[in-house]
Structure 1
Amino acid sequence: MSPRPQSGRHARLVDPALALLTAVGIAAGPAAVGAPLSWHGTFALGVILGGLLLVRRSRPVPVLVLSAAVLVGYQSAGLFEGGGVWPLSVALFTAALTRPGLASAVAALALAGGLAVQGLDASETLARGGVELLWLALVTAAASSWRQYGRWRAEHRARLLQLEQTRLVEQRLTISREVHDVVAHTLAVVGVHLNVAVEALDDSPEEARAALRTAIAVRSRAMTDLKTFVGELRDVPQHGLESVADLVAQAEAAGLDVRYDTEGDVEALPAAQALTAYRVVQEAVVNTLRHSDAGRLTIQVQAGPQALVVTVTDDGRSAAGFTEGHGLTGMRERVTALGGTLHVDTGGGFAVRAVLPLADHLTGLAP
């Protein structure tokens, strides 16, 4: 999947605009410095390279490779005398968001090929090559900065979501305690008045009726309070594996190539296991965004007859000095509370594997 730094509406506006600017720049740029302008040369090259940019999001690396090949071909045929990198700027930037090393290598090869086929002398080759290499470095640095900004933004949104969910859980616990207090108080008061009514039923019917009326009033007031509390509890959202799609979208928006696979009947999972699995994926995605300079992220959820297995891996660099923070500690506690196991590997990228039992005596436990 391609990086999505903008929304779909913005992409529909930005991509044609970039394609048009590229086509105009390639056609008019050389003419501005006195180079010849021809319909089958610079103009046609601008149309081709600009048109390729319309699919840059779905195929960033193929677009860059094909653009570089077309550019070198036009230079070797003597149809374009411009630079070997700047015409590829947009394609290079897009490819560098996910494959920076490969994108730089393709652009450098295009530059070397373009300089070689143009037959320039040594001094002109060094001068032009130095300027183009500087532009290559600037574009790749800009792509790296944009990629890091996207990851910071996605991580920030994920952390805000975690804080909001923590607040909602605390609110739920508070309401649960209030419900407990109301029920306990009501039962105690109603019990006292029922005992009074039973004892006074024969000797003092009026007193018994007053006690029963008091018990009924207490019960009615308690029912009103309980309806209010239960209504608030229903308003507190609970996440399950269906919410993983939101995490995938956040990771893709940060420039990651995400693959999400499920096996088994994940919709029939108990609420406790589904919620814990979601938390595992959420924390793993946040840690990938924060600690790993990854380009790909793989999320696998396997619902078997005996256990739910959640695996999240990325292809980032090794994090030998990585230590578990509050997020991973909380994730491990959730998994352990359900009788499961959690394994974290930072030797080659970031990998998390959680195994949650689905035995009957565990399905009713809360995370």
Structure 2
Amino acid sequence: MGTIRVRRALLVDLASALLTGVGVAAGPAVTGAPLLWHGAFALGVLLGGLLLARRRRPLLVLVLSAGVLIGYQSSGLFEGGWVWPLSAALFTAALTRPGWAVTVGALTLAYGLGQQGLDAPEALARGGVELLWLALVLAAASATRQYGRWRAEHRARLLQLEQTRLAEQRLHISREVHDVVAHTLAVVGVHLNVAVAVLDDSPEEARAALNTAIAVRNQAARDLKAFVGELRDTPQQGLESIADLVAQARAAGLEVRYQPEGDLAAVPAAQALTAYRVVQEAVINTLRHSDAGRLTIKVQATACDLVVNVVDDGSATADYTAGHGLTGMRERVTAVGGTLRIEAGSGFAVQTVLPLTAYMSGLAS
């Protein structure tokens, strides 16, 4: 990309030099003046050649070009205008040094009008035309500067948006990995504790607990694989996956009552995934921080909202702290315009309301 940009700039410089050289050389001939090799032609070559250095030394090129033009005009070797031969040099200098470009252009024009000894009406007419051309060149340079600033600001905004999008993606990935890993560790931990406790007295029960832990571990591996697939635009978990969470909680020894209501298949993917993660985090907290024996999960889809309630009957959750899981749960719910309420005391209760119609209309707008 850098090489292409350099080549493009070189082609523009060559074109500017060629056009200036041809224009200055042929300009006087258009008005009937003789075309002299040591006059207009030589001036065109000099002004065009100077333009090849206009990007590195724009102000110096303008001053030298003005000096050369004044010299040729004063010696009678060139009878064209005082501003238009300097158009490219004026434009380039005005991009970075607009004040100096105005000064050099105005002084050159004033000197030229003073040297020609014109009467007032003719000087006013010729000066007006030259001044108008100078204003047009400077206005074009000003517009180009403004466009350059706008492009720079636009690129900065795009970069900021891209950085924000990447940060959101990293946050999303961290939430997904936390949800899968935390849930797996919680369930596997429960079954390992059971296996250790009954290993001597009931090897069969210990073996069953270990088999369940292995099954949960395998499910976690599948979940992580599915999540990686999601990054490649494959489907992710939804409300139908809550049944797996229920089975795992029951296998961990909880009495679970699951109540799905409404048309859950019609729930949009964003709300479905959010609801699944809320239930998953609630189950994790019950297994980790509660002495609960019973867990109730209710998921209800109405015409306007998706309501999720998860309640256990534990008694050791009053002093809970909002860690990464609960914080991520709240962020997920907020991201889709929902509300989240958590109560801890005589049990752990999570209630989430995720709007459906308002969210979808917001996306459409």
Over aligned residues, Cα RMSD in angstroms? 2.4
Amino acid of the residue matched to residue 202 of structure 2? Answer: S
110-119 vs 145-154, which moves further: 110-119
From 174, 177, 192, the counterpart of 1:176: 174
Q: Does 1:40 align with 2:38?
A: yes
The match for 1:204 among 202, 205, 208 is 202
* 1:186 alignment partner in structure 2: 184
Q: Deviations over 1:163-219 (max 9, x none)?
A: 121111112112212222222211110111102211231233232122212223323
CA deviation map 1:234-275 (0-9, x unaligned): xxxxxxxxxxxxxxxxxxxxxxxxxxxxxxxxxxxxxxxxxx
Aligned counterparts, 1:113-152, within 5 A: 113-152=111-150
The unaligned stretches of length 5 or more in structure 2 are 232-365
Structure 2 match to 1:8: 6
- Asked which structure has the greater RCO (Cα within 8 Å, sep 6+), the reply is 1
Structure 1: stretches of 5+ with no match in the other structure: 234-367
Distance 2:30 2:15 in 1: 21
Q: Does the alignment pair 1:18 with 2:16?
A: yes
Q: Higher Cα Rg: structure 1 or 2?
A: 2
Partner letter of residue 100 of structure 1? P
Partner of 2:47: 49
**Is the Cα–Cα contact under 8 Å of residues 78 and 118 in structure 1 kept in the other structure?**
no
Task: Tell me how far 1:119 sits from its aligned partner.
Answer: 3.5
Match of 1:100 among 92, 98, 108: 98
**Paired residue secondary structure (2:96):** coil
User: What secondary structure is seen at the aligned counterpart in 1 of 2:79?
Assistant: coil
1:59 aligned residue: 57
Mapped to 2, the partners of 1:228 and 1:64 lie a distance apart of 65
Residue in 2 aligned with 1:158? 156
Aligned positions, number: 229
Distance 1:229 1:58, change over 3 A: farther
Rounded Cα–Cα distance in structure 2 between residues aligned with 1:38 and 1:225: 84
Question: How far off is 1:222 after superposition?
Answer: 3.0
Q: Which moved more, 1:9-18 or 1:45-54?
A: 9-18
SS at match of 1:55: coil
SS at match of 2:52: helix
Structure 2 Cα separation of the partners of residues 141 and 64 of structure 1? 17
Instruction: Answer whether contact 1:75 1:117 (CA < 8 A) is retained.
Output: no
Report how far residue 232 of structure 1 moved.
9.8
Matches within 5 A, 1:170-319: 170-223=168-221, 225=223
8 Å contact kept, 1:68–1:88: yes
